[in-house]
Amino acid sequence: QRRANMRPTTQSGQPRPTPVTGKMPFPSSAPVDAVLTTAYGDDAGLHGLSTAGHNAALTPAEVLLEEAERHDFQYGEVLPAGVRKALGEAHLDAQSGRSLVELGAGTGKVALQAFLECPSLLRVTAVELAAARYRVGEAALLRLCERIPERFSLLAHAPGACVRISERPPAADTSAHQREGSSRELELSVGDVFELGAAARAALAEADVVF
């Protein structure tokens, strides 16, 4: 158990100053949740069997693969509070990394939340096997670029296969990666994690965090 609320003290009993680290703090959850809602609508707040990911129908080819026990399309989602905890310093420590790969991304909610929660991540790459679940995430990212164009831009889009967006930083953003002139990108694609393309394999090999 982490004693996060107990700060060391000096001999006089005064709290020691909190050390400054290079890690970037998580943004407040309210703005992040608002962006998730913009992208996914009411589905951002749903859980259990009512989510779009659970209700996304498999294609006939995917059904055959599952029946042949070549693929398992069983689905589950991590709630935003759980994602936030998993990304934290006590677990994945994603705010210390520059790249994250999510394998089995579902509708892309976790990938987008990681992208929003961790400004230090310059690239987030997410791969989903089920085409219908990918399409939910594809529509969400396109919606985000359409509704918040001053912040999010569409970089590439192959309908039904891949979508890649970037985030334009606020003018007042003085974070290290912005000072260096680096852009931040999120890519969601559909595919088999055991048959990744060259770009996805390279992203996986270089990833600081794998979810």
* Cβ 17 vs Cβ 9: under 8 Å: no
What is the tens place of the pLDDT at every residue in 147-187? Answer: 999 999 999 999 999 999 999 876 555 554 554 556 899 99
Beta strands in the chain (DSSP E): 99-103, 123-128, 152-158, 162-167, 184-190, 209-210
What single string gives the DSSP state of each residue in 29-40?
HHHHHHHHHHHH
At residue 114, does pLDDT exceed 90?
yes
Q: What is the mean pLDDT of residues 49-54?
A: 74
Q: What is the pLDDT of residues 185-196, one digit of tens each?
A: 999 999 988 888
pLDDT of amino acid 204: 86
